[in-house]
Structure 1
Amino acid sequence: MRLNNYILLFFSVSIFLSCSGTHKIPKGDLLYVGHTIDIEKGEESKKTRKQIKSELDGLIRPVPNKSILGMRPEIFFYNLIGEVKKEKGFKYWVKYKLGAEPVLMSKVDLEYNKQVVQNYIENKGFFNAETKADSTRRGKKAKANYTVKLNNQYKIKSVVFPKDSVVLSQEINKLKEKSLLKVGNTYDLEDIKNERVRIDANLKEQGFYYFNENYLLIQVDSTVANHEVDLIVKIKKETPEKAKKQYKINNIFVYPSFNLRRDTIARKKQDTIHYQDLTIIDNKTVFKPFIFDKTLLFNKGDLYNRTTHNLSLNRLITLGTFKFVKNEFQVNDSVKNQLDSYYYLTPLPKKSIQVETLAKTNSANYSGTELNINWSNRNTFKGAELLKISAFAGLEVQVSGQNNGFNVYRFGGDASLIWPRFISPFQMNSGSAYVPNTKASIGYEYQLRTKLYSLKTLNASFGYIWKENERKEHNLNILNIAYTSPNNVSELYQSQIAANPSLQRVIDKQLILGTTYSYTYTNTMEQNRKHNIYFKGGIDLSGNSLGLILGANDYNNPKNILSVPFSQYTKAEVEFRHYLNFDKETKLASRIIIGAGIPYGNSKELPFIKQFFIGGTSSIRAFRARSIGPGTFDGSQNSNSFLPDQSGDIKFEFSTELRGQIYKIVKGAVFVDAGNIWLLNENSDKPGAKFSGKFLNQLAIGTGIGLRFDFDFLVLRTDLAFPLRKPYLPKGQEWVIDDINFGDRSWRKENLIFNLAIGYPF
């Protein structure tokens, strides 16, 4: 036994020494293991010293090999593999992906790092600072040590802007009120750089097209007082004359069928069209002139400004019609201080066809695939209109849940026409970077639920889509029509209706005619933010105008359109998401959903497709789809074998999950979900379903873990979840934490829910 222990100890020490990374260090060299920065205590606050130290840490080079409990696995894997001849394969992956070359002390330039530290702290206003650098050795390891004495930080005594009579100087002087350089603030070179950028950006809004920040000089005078500086804003003497002038827009030329090769090598005779302030040069007259007048925001005689410049370019791009958009300005030699603007536009192919296969997951816990065939015409009526005709066919199955075995087959098609402008009897304009759209659509879908029934749905809509900016989007459907009728209802489904009459609603004929509006705000595209948010709020109104016209006020005697009672209701829903980003791969994602629908007039209840459901792959994952609520009602007591009918008029849902990377494409998550749905009114068939002030005591709660396989083009998500609280259990027994027993087969069968889905839940 003692011999075995010695052998085990020998191998343990060998592995430890190998992982420490020092056994293959070249003779005469040392392993660089990092640095220390000591900022001597002075008059500065502890917070200032701490902040400067943190920022200096990120400037020191090189970065040492990563260390875990004193071991350096990167060096171990690097040394494990000998010479690698190919830049691919398993050996290359181990040596250079898992491993990394040892960072040696001979690669550390102490004098260079000392100068980096000194420059940084001087740029922060510590003009009299002192920096020292040396190194310490311990065995085969070495560390760099930097000592900083800050002394006194200089502050701004005064800021002087140019006051002469030159137009450029006068415009710069107007900007001093919002200057980033404030008297009493500490000196910071970064603030001076940002001030130059700010002044330049403002001058670009005032017609100074050829000016740039490099023509500005901010002199620093540190002799004026004890530890104070004067800052003097000046225009450099070598600034070109044209950079000092304000320019206005003169001629605007548009080349809507520009081809780089044709138009630069062998120009052909082209037609010239004059429309408003535009000169359109197009040898094919592919586009009607008005589209450019509505898209380009400059008018002849306008003072040049960068905002209008960029907005016009963005609007041309978001038309979705042009492959390349190029713009340039040239001085008009015949008119003083005037610019001619040129827009060179290369169109996308007018017609295209696209075939795509999709993987899908829906809220009812169904997963499947869909084949889409899309035909597009990007300039249907020569006004950049987009006509899109699509046909689709798909299959959806439920991996786990009560619908397992009852597959859904879908096929249909739709046609939509999008005008890149507002089509309205009222004057509607948008000056944002995104062209507003008017959209009309019509579609048909046939849905077959095997062994149960089929539904035919015809829908049509007309409305507007517009974005204020990249964060804010509005979607208003003035007219939204949906008509659904059943077919081929099976005897199996009829028998279930006899036992559960509310299932009749699923196959009732439905006519929805109303208006919808939604507003979306998000900054999730800004990857470097600590906090990202997403908000979407919407309202859905149906049957109100018809109700007033036809006098619908009795749902027991509803009014009909084409022999079908029309639905009358108001429904609102808001969703808020928050993402707390710890680093690039780790975040805490949270979501809350609140919704409510109120039927009235011609309707006793919301249409089935408009009601709220909860549970499933992208909801409360510890419960099967649509199997929770309403309220404390236990739907398992009388639900059928294939479709839980647990819907409600009110919904509250909350989820939070911690996401992190496990290995490259594999990401993990730990999550908690909570929520429920309720009815507005009492239902004798569903005791406990009515919403009340005690709704927080009626929440279903679940937790679990998951893996996400991110293939860039597809995210495959797997979640394993189990309930913590079941609202339908007797009072005092709702919490089921004490019942958790992963070793019990019957517990696992009843409580452990596996979810397979496409994409993140939110």
Structure 2
Amino acid sequence: MRINKPLYYLLIVLLVAYGCSNTKYLPEGEMLYVGGEVTVKDSLIKKKERKAMEKELEALLRPKTNSAFLGLRFKLYIYNLAGEPKKEKGFKHWLRTKVGEPPVLFSQVDLDYNADILQNYAENKGYFKTRTTADSTSNNRRAKALYTVTTGKQYLINKVTFPDSTGTQLDSVIGRMSRRSLLKKGQPYDLDVIKSERERIDARLKNKGYFYFNPDYLIIQVDSTIGKYEVNLKVKVKDDTPEVAKNVYTINNIFIYPNYSLTSKDSVVYPASAIQEYKDFKIIDTANTFRPIIYDRTMFFHKGDIYSRRDHNLSLNRLVNLGPFKFVKNDFHPSDSVKNALDAYYYFTPLTRKSIRIETLGKTNSANYNGSEVNVNWINRNTFRAAELLTLTVFGGLEIQASGQNKGYNVYRVGTEASLVWPRFISPIRIQDSSAYVPRTKALLSYEYQNRQKLYSLNSSRAQFGYLWKDNIRTEHQLFVADINYVSSTNVTPEYQMQADTVPSLQRVIDKQLIFGPTYSYTFTNTMQKRKKHTFYYKGSLDLAGTLAGLVTGANVKKGDTINLFSVPFSQFVKMEHDFRHYLKLSDNSQLASRIIAGVGMPYGNSGILPYIRQFFIGGTNSIRAFRARSIGPGTYRNDELDANAFLPDQSGDLKLEINTEYRAKLFSVVHGAVFVDAGNIWLWNKDPDRPGAQFSSKFLNELAVGTGAGLRFDLSFLVLRLDLAFPLRKPWLPEGERWVLGDIDFGSGAWRKENLVFNIAIGYPF
């Protein structure tokens, strides 16, 4: 792209003027602080390590400079542009205080303080002979702080000594912890590692019954006089450590108060006759609210056990995750009757047992359908007095297309659902679970009636029974051993039937469908770890439909041996889907999010194609945003013979590949921006003569649809409102060699915009 010289000079002048405008508003005699620069001088450190250390040291400098993008301080410019507001409200006040940012002045910088911080940091990393100096430089009312850190050679660990078995019992226990010590011979001295080692030892001691111990009772002595830039470390218990911290404690009585009130100080005072003893627990529940079985399956402590911080935390986590409690807390007190023993007290504040919730939702999608939905939920959190969760739901909604090819083909849906969740495994085989999360058994029954106006109606019934459990905070499993889905159609209009008579894929939408078999999904995520640079999300699912029934009956649709159950051919297929996401943290306010979805469904035996409700779809607000929902594929197929006044059918397939990447950055306040690229398609497993080009082949990469766009996200804490504007870069249905349409992009053409620009409104991020 060429830029003529007058325009180039104009840009330079504007940038210079912009820079000057940020300093002319400064108070008299003040300079704008534009940052600190640290130079590490040491010939023994490799250049790469030296640069990394300089970056770490610069992050310690205070204050931080005004935020900038490509060297331009937009927030400071807006602050100056807004001027001093006359009142503490209105647009001018909002612009200056919320969007703008006051200047960071050089007079706010304490050079000596920062130099001391750098000196301490270097010494804590083992550079004991560090020298630090500070200076500054200025130009055009801008000042920069300059720091020089001369480190010298870094001290390494020569030997680590732990207490031996000849000392106290506590010394002997600590001595046996040396094998997994964080302090290793030959590693650099690092004060942070020493602190972590004290915390590691304390955590191990807490799991061995040392309830009153804490890291401050440990000291790690450092001897740096041995020469050769090495240190000897000695781990020992402080001489003034109290005796209670040296004793191992066991659990004596366990008191449980299931109806503890946060507002009543006398809520834990009950007569002895009110105490119910169940196994190792003393339960004070005069209202008989809960069956004692829930404590036996949730608590990890039993009378006589050695106190363990792990069991302590596991018990609390499981109680919190049990469901019926609003607040959970516990205390430990020395036992009056047993020496070196603790009495445990657990206080639970229950949620309201029964409640009703009404939800009203607004919905929109890139197929130009807009609508709303109302859900009424009745909840019983303690159905059979063992924390079972019963949810009864009634819902109804509609989606209307005000303009576009499907105008008038509105969608109405009503339905009901009942689910019951037990906070344990309901199984003939006893399954022992020792994680911090309560395993659950779930049973569900649902029915939905969906009417597609002027086309058809569908009745869908579903029954599920299965298990949900978590190994830890990052992983989750769902296994439904029984998952039955039955779909039938009614009110098929002549308009739709006429189309379905010529397009078999449309006929399959209204055919009766019977699907049964186990389903399983596994989810892993560490996205909750906000400080990590790389975080991941993965969900894999497996659907095995009709497998045993197909083996028993010998069904084979290719030979004409189709088997019916209740006058309906049952579906037989294997379906897998993998959703992998990667989040790269670029800064505190920006990230690169990427996703790849790969799915395949293989029909066999009693089925020649996946049932419509189990097929893959692509395109839309959370998929390839440059194309209408469910409008892409399969493969290179496109029905160009559709009547402009007829409905636009959804496209579905047996295989799916989707790739997305999105750059996200905070612009100001609650407003975030994004630019994105999406690609993907769906295909059929078997050849369909009515849809040429739909079958999956080795040319699948040449059949991907590609789109791009930009958008805004309004992060309002309780929800994220997303606005995306996208357009296609590649259309797979065009002839080979003509599928890339970059040369056709013309934002000035109304016809191009009408055909290609897709505006998406959605709630939440696409991935």
TM range (shorter): over 0.9
* Alignment match of 2:383 (pick from 359, 380, 385): 380
* Alignment match of 2:568 (pick from 551, 564, 569): 564
- The one-letter amino acid of 1:756's match is I
* Alignment match of 1:642 (pick from 635, 647, 655): 647
Match of 1:720 in 2: 725
Q: Distance in 1 between matches of 2:37 and 2:511?
A: 74
Match of 2:626 in 1: 622
Shift in Å at residue 312 of structure 1? 0.8
Q: Distance in 1 between matches of 2:70 and 2:512?
A: 68
* Alignment match of 2:351 (pick from 331, 348, 351): 348
Match of 1:678 in 2: 683
Secondary structure of 2:122's aligned partner: helix
Question: More displaced, 672-681 or 233-242?
Answer: 672-681
Unaligned residue ranges in structure 1 (runs of 5+): 1-7
Match of 1:224 in 2: 226
Match of 1:655 in 2: 660
Secondary structure of 1:636's aligned partner: coil
Provide the TM-score with structure 1 as the length reference: 0.93
- Cα 1:590/1:329, change in 2 over 3 Å: same
Q: Distance in 2 between matches of 1:83 and 1:57?
A: 33
Match of 2:317 in 1: 314
- Cα 1:432/1:101, change in 2 over 3 Å: same
* Alignment match of 1:579 (pick from 577, 580, 583): 583
Give identity over the alignment, percent.
56
Match of 1:110 in 2: 111
Cα pair 2:359 2:374 within 8 Å, conserved: yes
Cα pair 1:594 1:653 within 8 Å, conserved: yes
* Alignment match of 1:532 (pick from 532, 535, 541): 535
Q: Distance in 1 between matches of 2:723 and 2:385?
A: 48
* Alignment match of 1:430 (pick from 433, 436, 443): 433
Unaligned residue ranges in structure 2 (runs of 5+): 1-9
Q: Distance in 2 between matches of 1:675 and 1:639?
A: 27
Cα pair 2:252 2:344 within 8 Å, conserved: yes
Cα pair 1:20 1:71 within 8 Å, conserved: no
Question: 1:279 and 2:282 equivalent?
Answer: yes
TM-superposition CA deviations, 1:20-74 (whole Å, max 9, x none): 32554235x5444433333334323223332222122122222344567887665
TM-superposition CA deviations, 1:695-722 (whole Å, max 9, x none): 2222222222223333333333233222
- Cα 1:267/1:87, change in 2 over 3 Å: farther
Cα pair 1:219 1:232 within 8 Å, conserved: yes
Match of 1:747 in 2: 752
Q: Distance in 2 between matches of 1:544 and 1:678?
A: 23
Question: More displaced, 373-382 or 151-160?
Answer: 151-160
Match of 1:3 in 2: none
Cα pair 1:422 1:429 within 8 Å, conserved: no
Cα pair 2:26 2:32 within 8 Å, conserved: no
Shift in Å at residue 285 of structure 1? 1.2
- Cα 1:608/1:180, change in 2 over 3 Å: same
Question: More displaced, 571-580 or 52-61?
Answer: 52-61
- The one-letter amino acid of 1:210's match is Y
Cα pair 1:363 1:619 within 8 Å, conserved: no
- Cα 1:392/1:684, change in 2 over 3 Å: same
Shift in Å at residue 752 of structure 1? 2.8
- Cα 1:565/1:12, change in 2 over 3 Å: closer
Q: Distance in 1 between matches of 2:658 and 2:226?
A: 63
- Cα 1:119/1:506, change in 2 over 3 Å: same
Q: Distance in 2 between matches of 1:380 and 1:209?
A: 38
- The one-letter amino acid of 1:586's match is S
Q: Distance in 2 between matches of 1:425 and 1:289?
A: 21
Secondary structure of 2:182's aligned partner: coil
Match of 1:708 in 2: 713
- The one-letter amino acid of 2:386's match is G
Question: 1:126 and 2:127 equivalent?
Answer: yes
Cα pair 1:39 1:49 within 8 Å, conserved: yes
- The one-letter amino acid of 2:707's match is G
Match of 1:233 in 2: 235
- The one-letter amino acid of 2:209's match is G
Secondary structure of 1:259's aligned partner: coil
- The one-letter amino acid of 1:218's match is I
Match of 1:246 in 2: 248
Q: How many residues align?
A: 753
Q: Distance in 2 between matches of 1:16 and 1:740?
A: 33
Shift in Å at residue 563 of structure 1? 2.3
* Alignment match of 1:669 (pick from 668, 674, 679): 674
- Cα 1:22/1:645, change in 2 over 3 Å: closer
Shift in Å at residue 613 of structure 1? 1.8
Shift in Å at residue 378 of structure 1? 0.6
Cα pair 1:19 1:71 within 8 Å, conserved: no
Secondary structure of 1:429's aligned partner: coil
Match of 2:6 in 1: none
Cα pair 1:708 1:717 within 8 Å, conserved: yes
Secondary structure of 2:145's aligned partner: strand
Question: More displaced, 318-327 or 68-77?
Answer: 68-77
Question: 1:370 and 2:373 equivalent?
Answer: yes
Secondary structure of 2:498's aligned partner: helix
Question: More displaced, 272-281 or 40-49?
Answer: 40-49
- Cα 1:199/1:70, change in 2 over 3 Å: closer
Q: Distance in 1 between matches of 2:338 and 2:620?
A: 68
Question: 1:590 and 2:594 equivalent?
Answer: yes
Provide the TM-score with structure 2 as the length reference: 0.92
Match of 2:188 in 1: 186
Cα pair 1:624 1:753 within 8 Å, conserved: yes
Q: Distance in 1 between matches of 2:85 and 2:449?
A: 59
Secondary structure of 1:387's aligned partner: strand
Shift in Å at residue 480 of structure 1? 1.0
Q: Distance in 1 between matches of 2:70 and 2:510?
A: 64
Shift in Å at residue 409 of structure 1? 0.8
Q: Distance in 2 between matches of 1:91 and 1:513?
A: 62
Match of 1:606 in 2: 610
* Alignment match of 1:467 (pick from 460, 465, 470): 470
Question: More displaced, 671-680 or 93-102?
Answer: 93-102
Alignment map for 1:73-112 (pairs within 5 Å): 78=79, 87-112=88-113
- Cα 1:616/1:73, change in 2 over 3 Å: closer
Shift in Å at residue 573 of structure 1? 1.2
